[in-house]
């Protein structure tokens, strides 16, 4: 080992669905050392590897390092959490095993407050942050080991301290971002991922919520004057909740999101897909945590976010009923 | 005709579902002159009359005066509107034909603002009011001409002036109430039917709305901690809307309604039955009119009733989609 040589980072991917499979494959394709935790498709991936069908060009990885559980994985410098937040209850068992002592966690999940929960599992501080990540990937797993990438693939990364404060960009974050960029994944570094997370919630809260509650596509929600107005009312409430957390979302952002969504092809949201598949919904990460965090920080007690609360309650009911737990 | 003898009133019933069929049959059974407008079951009722299966005792009326349209009906002293509010668009054609010049209309429908709409069709004033009526009937039409009465049957009646102000009890209202009482229908007269209507909305808005949006029975809504809280939040908002209309609903009323509903057998709301049968929903009478009336009268502009608005928008979307008009 030559002093000063920048060592290559070893990546662990927890969750090999569309998101973990796509990003992990992109990293491996440029020669990085990648290790996948795989649940249901373990046997298939061992035999056939990963097939990526992508707008950027299709490719196949006949051999991938896959593991049925973390006990068998090598310890990694960077552990990317790419499973649904509903599986995060497994992380206290997983992370201490798979993460190197000086390793970092990249939380590539939706919603709010997850980095804080993970900060309670792994040691972190300002020189050793939890890295939060927002992915704008449009991809589906269409068969075991077979991922179809439709559009967008960019990522925003930002660091968090143990007490869930955003922080400046570290050299390690820069190195990870370089790896992603080299792998063809446009990656932005930010000193305030919370603002980015709230902006994504402006879209995710109304469309994910209403798509499940009303059994509707984005096109149906935008094509009806009543639900279009409801989407806008909910977006405005998310902007207020962000403001309670000292995050200012620009005034024109709501109209921009509405306009973009009205123009895009009709879309079945990820929460609707989970619902249709009778999988648990990410209600706490996308609705519950933002509500609790914004409410706790609201100095104005009249701010109580009635629409987000209503969606949260409706989804909690439907999620339970949908999984036959009633 | 002996001077001073009180003439018997002739009753016309518009709509012979569970409600119109039950009350009309009760009136006819004690010898009153009753005439039914019947749509789909006309032929059946002509041949077989009405069968009432009731907790108070079953009875049959082999012969009833039924008409397929108002043109063939005699003009009536009292016209009871017993159809769904979604059919009220037919009233401007019907009422001038079937109502005597000095006749009165009794609006036995759910929701708010209906008497005002009817006041624009028929002449009315303080000595000649529109009579609003709230029915607490639990009954279903189980087959053509066959009604099953399960519990409750009482009615509250109150007068409205042409400009939708409540008013004192007139002798004609008293006479109609006497006819109902003689027919075994407990009937209360009130000088403020609006308060009674708002109190009924405290129940109807959350349970009718959520039963459709969440595909749920009252027992399911009360058995889940999230929807139980949502029901309570919506009820509190209806109390606020009533207050904007200067109607004070007592503080303990919300808890009383929650407690009663939790105790009663699981119930499929009338709006859920309409939805399951792909019939139009009474969204405007139960949600739209109360919202518009309360908003117009809100001196406090911060009162905007977000939960009732949200339910209204969700139901408008589902109602349209459910009738395949999308």
The pLDDT of residue A4 is above 70: no
- DSSP 8-state code for residue B89: G
What average pLDDT does range B192-213 have in this prediction? 97
Per-residue tokens: A318: 């439907």
Question: Is A227 within 8 Å of B317 when comparing Cβ atoms?
Answer: yes
**Residue B300 CB neighbours (<10 A):** 9
Question: Is A310 within 8 Å of B227 when comparing Cβ atoms?
Answer: no
Q: What is the pLDDT of residue A274?
A: 94
CA-to-CA distance for A19 and A143, rounded, in angstroms?
Answer: 14
Residue A325 banded pLDDT, cuts 50, 70, 90: low
Which residues of chain A does B325 touch, with a Cβ-Cβ cutoff of 8 Å?
none
CA distance B281 to chain A (A): 15
Q: What is the pLDDT of residue B251?
A: 87
| HSE value, Cβ hemisphere, 13 Å, CA-based, for A281 | 31
Q: What is the pLDDT of residue B302?
A: 62
pLDDT digits (tens, 9 = 90+) for B213-229: 999 999 999 999 999 99
Q: What is the pLDDT of residue B6?
A: 59
Collapsing DSSP to helix, strand or coil, B163 comes out as coil
The pLDDT of residue A301 is above 80: no
Per-residue tokens: A194: 């919370």
The pLDDT of residue A164 is above 90: no
Residue B299 banded pLDDT, cuts 50, 70, 90: confident
Bridge partners (DSSP) of residue B151 are B138
CA distance A73 to chain B (A): 40
CA-to-CA distance for B221 and A160, rounded, in angstroms?
Answer: 39
B200 is known as an active-site residue: yes
CA-to-CA distance for A121 and A115, rounded, in angstroms?
Answer: 10
Which residue among B306, B307, B314 places its CB closest to the CB of A213?
Answer: B314
Q: What is the pLDDT of residue B1?
A: 42
Q: What is the pLDDT of residue B76?
A: 97
Per-residue tokens: B62: 């082999």
CA-to-CA distance for A76 and A104, rounded, in angstroms?
Answer: 9
- Cβ proximity of B11 and B78 under 8 Å: yes
pLDDT digits (tens, 9 = 90+) for B58-75: 999 999 999 999 999 999
Q: What is the pLDDT of residue A278?
A: 95
Please enumerate residues of B whose Cβ is less than 8 A from a Cβ of A: 210, 213-214, 216, 220-221, 223-224, 226-227, 229-230, 233, 302, 306-307, 309-310, 312-314, 316-318, 320-321, 326
Which residues of chain B does A321 touch, with a Cβ-Cβ cutoff of 8 Å?
216, 220
- DSSP 8-state code for residue B39: S
- The complex scores an ipTM of 0.91
CA-to-CA distance for A276 and B179, rounded, in angstroms?
Answer: 55
Whole-structure pTM value? 0.92
pLDDT digits (tens, 9 = 90+) for B271-281: 999 999 999 99
pLDDT digits (tens, 9 = 90+) for A8-22: 999 999 999 999 999
Residues 6+ apart with CB under 8 A from A53: A142, A146, A147, A148, A149
Of the residues B26, B84, B200, B272, only one is catalytic, namely B200
Per-residue tokens: A193: 């991922």
CA-to-CA distance for A177 and A196, rounded, in angstroms?
Answer: 17
DSSP assignments along B60-79, one per residue: EES--EEESSGGGSPPEEEE
CA-to-CA distance for B106 and B139, rounded, in angstroms?
Answer: 20
The pLDDT of residue B32 is above 90: yes
Collapsing DSSP to helix, strand or coil, B130 comes out as strand
Collapsing DSSP to helix, strand or coil, B44 comes out as helix
Q: How large a percentage of chain A has pLDDT more than 70?
A: 95
The pLDDT of residue B131 is above 60: yes
Which residues of chain B does A309 touch, with a Cβ-Cβ cutoff of 8 Å?
230, 233
Please enumerate residues of A whose Cβ is less than 8 A from a Cβ of B: 210, 213-214, 216, 220-221, 223-224, 226-227, 229-230, 233, 302, 306-307, 309-310, 312-314, 316-318, 320-321, 326
What average pLDDT does range A264-279 have in this prediction? 92
The pLDDT of residue B4 is above 60: no
CA-to-CA distance for A76 and A103, rounded, in angstroms?
Answer: 7
What average pLDDT does range A28-54 have in this prediction? 96
CA-to-CA distance for A291 and A312, rounded, in angstroms?
Answer: 9
Which residues of chain A does B212 touch, with a Cβ-Cβ cutoff of 8 Å?
none
CA-to-CA distance for A146 and A63, rounded, in angstroms?
Answer: 14
Residue B2 banded pLDDT, cuts 50, 70, 90: very low
Question: Is B318 within 8 Å of A214 when comparing Cβ atoms?
Answer: yes
CA distance A317 to chain B (A): 7
CA-to-CA distance for A156 and A51, rounded, in angstroms?
Answer: 25
Which residues of chain A does B307 touch, with a Cβ-Cβ cutoff of 8 Å?
306-307, 310
The pLDDT of residue A127 is above 80: no
The mean pLDDT value of chain A amounts to 93
* Count of positions (residues) in chain A: 326
CA angle B1, B2, B8 (to 5 degrees): 65
- Cβ proximity of B113 and B164 under 8 Å: yes
Residue B151 banded pLDDT, cuts 50, 70, 90: confident
pLDDT digits (tens, 9 = 90+) for A94-123: 999 999 999 999 999 999 999 999 988 987
What average pLDDT does range B84-112 have in this prediction? 95
- Cβ proximity of B15 and B79 under 8 Å: no
Residue A141 phi/psi, 5-degree rounding, is -85, 115
Q: Where are the alpha helices (DSSP H) in chain B?
A: 18-29, 42-48, 91-98, 114-119, 171-182, 193-213, 218-223, 225-244, 253-263, 270-276, 283, 289-297, 306-322
The pLDDT of residue B160 is above 60: yes
């Amino acid at each position: 080992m030559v002093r000063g040589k920048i060592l290559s980072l070893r990546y662990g991917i927890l969750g090999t669905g569309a998101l973990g499979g796509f990003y992990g494959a992109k990293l491996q394709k440029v020669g990085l050392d990648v290790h996948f935790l795989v649940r249901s498709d373990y046997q298939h991936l061992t035999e056939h590897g990963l097939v990526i069908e992508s707008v950027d060009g299709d490719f196949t990885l006949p051999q991938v390092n896959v593991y049925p559980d973390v006990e068998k994985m090598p310890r990694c410098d960077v552990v990317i959490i790419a499973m649904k937040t509903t599986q995060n209850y497994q992380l206290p068992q997983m992370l201490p095993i798979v993460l190197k002592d000086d390793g970092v966690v990249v939380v590539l999940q939706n919603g709010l407050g997850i980095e804080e929960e993970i900060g309670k599992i792994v040691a972190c501080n300002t020189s050793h942050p939890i890295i939060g990540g927002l992915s704008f990937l449009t991809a589906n797993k269409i068969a075991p080991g077979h991922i179809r990438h439709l559009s967008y693939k960019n990522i925003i990364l930002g660091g968090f301290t143990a007490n869930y404060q955003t922080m400046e960009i570290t050299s390690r974050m820069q190195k990870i971002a370089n790896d992603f960029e080299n792998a063809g994944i446009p990656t932005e570094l930010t000193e305030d991922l919370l603002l980015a997370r709230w902006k994504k919630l402006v879209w995710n809260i109304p469309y994910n919520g209403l798509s499940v509650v009303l059994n509707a596509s984005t096109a149906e929600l935008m094509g009806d004057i009543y639900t279009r107005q409801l989407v806008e009312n909910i977006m405005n409430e998310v902007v207020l909740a962000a403001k309670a957390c000292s995050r200012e979302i620009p005034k024109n952002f709501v109209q921009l999101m509405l306009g973009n969504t009205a123009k895009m092809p009709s879309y079945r949201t990820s929460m609707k897909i989970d619902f249709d598949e009778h999988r648990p919904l990410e209600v706490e990460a996308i609705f519950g945590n933002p509500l609790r965090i914004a409410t706790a920080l609201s100095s104005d007690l009249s701010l109580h976010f009635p629409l987000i609360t209503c969606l949260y309650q409706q989804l909690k009911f439907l999620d339970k009923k949908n999984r036959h737990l009633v």
